[in-house]
Amino acid sequence: MYAVLDKDTIKNEILPHLSVAKRGFQSKSSLIEVINAILYKLKTGCQWEYLPVKELFSGKVLKYGAVFHHYNKWSKKGEWKSLWLQLLDKHRSELDMSSVDLDGSHTPAIRGGEEVGYQGRKKRKTTNALYLTDRKGLPLAMSVPKSGEHHDTHNIVAVMQNMMEDMAKANIRTDGLFLNADAGFDCAALRSVLKSYGIVSNICINKRNGTTNDSIVLDELLYRERYSIERTNAWMDSFRTILNRFDTTLRNWESWNYIAFSVMLLRKCARKRKV
């Protein structure tokens, strides 16, 4: 059976950050295998009822509903996001903060749900979220998803403040950072809020805005490095559960993203150890 992460990584890096029942009902199956089943669902995109539980569990076989119960319990408590932030803090040395990239992504919402709206460019209902990545393409922060009819700079000040707060929880400093973003993010509000955090904006100038401020400079050489966030999008698309949104609750949809971020970071660390 394909494993997204090896059991030692799940045991040492993921399980310690998730709550385990100390009294009352306790799972008779290995929680390592429960997490592995959740990761299998993330990677393959299969429906919960089609999880190959007999192949995923070596001891007592849980029904798919029990696996979902664990995932949903940790999601309700916000533990998937907490896990990712703690992993970011622990593995900060793996990050390349020579510059960071900001971009938005519209995900088709197949079943509707919270924060879903029609996006004309995609010609379908979507959910939109902003992602901030390091130079290697590893995710650093994700905005609270919003309905697809909103453009990327909608309520951008509050969005960036929330993302910066998450980075602070992972003890990632922002002062002196260079941030790349495409012309869709060229607005005074974004430049202003980034400056307040000591971040240098390297945003492509949108000529349709009629910008005439000669003090705004674009470093073309640095801007060419922005391709790394497109690589991040390709990595994210490899997790079939988040390629299209089937979750109707925003909480569970965000949780899948945070689990994917954690897997990407842990895989990066594992490759470095092998080298």
CB 183 within 8 A of CB 206: yes
Q: Where are the beta strands (DSSP E) in the chain?
A: 100-108, 117-119, 124-133, 139-142, 146-147, 178-181, 200-203
| Nearest to 112, CA basis, from 218, 201, 244 | 244
Whether 88 is in a domain gets the answer no
Instruction: Pick the last residue of a domain from 49, 77, 105.
Output: 77
Whether 37 is in a domain gets the answer yes
Same domain, 120 and 218: yes
Same domain, 101 and 233: yes
Same domain, 108 and 190: yes
Same domain, 70 and 105: no
Same domain, 105 and 43: no
pTM of this structure: 0.93
DSSP 70: H
Same domain, 102 and 219: yes
Same domain, 44 and 172: no
Same domain, 40 and 170: no
In three-state secondary structure terms, 158 is helix
Whether 259 is in a domain gets the answer no
Q: Could you give the number of structural domains in the chain? A: 2
Same domain, 102 and 213: yes
Phi/psi at 236 (5° precision): -65, -40
Whether 89 is in a domain gets the answer no
**pLDDT value for 24:** 47
Whether 2 is in a domain gets the answer no
Question: Residue 104: beta bridge partners?
Answer: 130
Q: Where are the beta strands (DSSP E) in 134-174?
A: 139-142, 146-147
Same domain, 170 and 231: yes
- d(Cα 246, Cα 248) in Å, to the nearest integer? 6
Same domain, 200 and 238: yes
Q: Tens place of pLDDT for every residue, the chain, 275 residues?
A: 678 999 999 999 999 999 986 654 556 678 999 999 999 999 999 999 999 999 999 888 999 999 999 999 999 999 999 999 999 999 999 999 999 999 999 999 999 999 999 999 889 999 999 999 999 999 999 999 999 999 999 999 999 999 999 999 999 999 999 999 999 999 999 999 999 999 999 999 887 776 556 568 788 999 988 888 888 989 999 999 999 999 999 999 999 999 999 999 999 988 766 65
- d(Cα 268, Cα 125) in Å, to the nearest integer? 33
CATH number at 138 reads: 3.30.420.10
Same domain, 164 and 234: yes
The two structure tokens encoding residue 212: 């005439």
Domain that holds residue 17: 7-77
| Nearest to 189, CA basis, from 177, 175, 178, 203 | 203
Question: Residue 100: beta bridge partners?
Answer: 179
Q: What are the b/e assignments for 238-252, b being 16+ CB within 10 Å?
A: ebebbeebbbeebeb
- Torsion angle (degrees, nearest 10) of CA 51, 56, 61, 66: -50
CB 36 within 8 A of CB 4: yes
